[in-house]
Structure 1
């Protein structure tokens, strides 16, 4: 990891916060939410998105580890109201439910 890359990781880590589904709904309505699999490093994926690392992002999307949030997921989150973690990488908000908490897969 380069110094610049390490600095970006630290910045994104500092901007990652717990959030409720209610707070995220406006972003979902705009199509701006990206769902990160709970077993993955949210900040590392956010960093790749921020750095426009198309190869990594495409690989994660192909593996289902990163995806646009689907209606069924949104309905599940509304019903369960779990604690989520999010970080903004404009124009996206990357969101994750920690592994072991999700019932969808």
Structure 2
């Protein structure tokens, strides 16, 4: 068991969440470029923590989370725009078909 007096003040005993799962999921399902950036930052968290760089580990964890969120938002927006485009083209195609059958 470690001596509590040996640990620096205000140092958490657990590393921050690296958000690697979110980075992987957003890379696969949402936005490839931002998801990859999220994975890169997530991969840095544990190494920085083990090196004793608590602030660096927290910063990398925060950046990984931020890029995963942005990737998810962009993925959802692009999906919504795609659905709207498909509906508009589908309606437009149906109207064009109706007009040509009247002649």
What band does the TM-score fall into relative to the shorter chain?
Answer: under 0.3
Structure of greater Rg: 2
Give the TM-score normalised by structure 1.
Answer: 0.24
* Higher relative helix content: 2
Give the TM-score normalised by structure 2.
Answer: 0.24
User: Taking CA–CA contacts closer than 8 Å with sequence separation of 6 or more, which of the two structures ends up with the larger relative contact order?
Assistant: 1
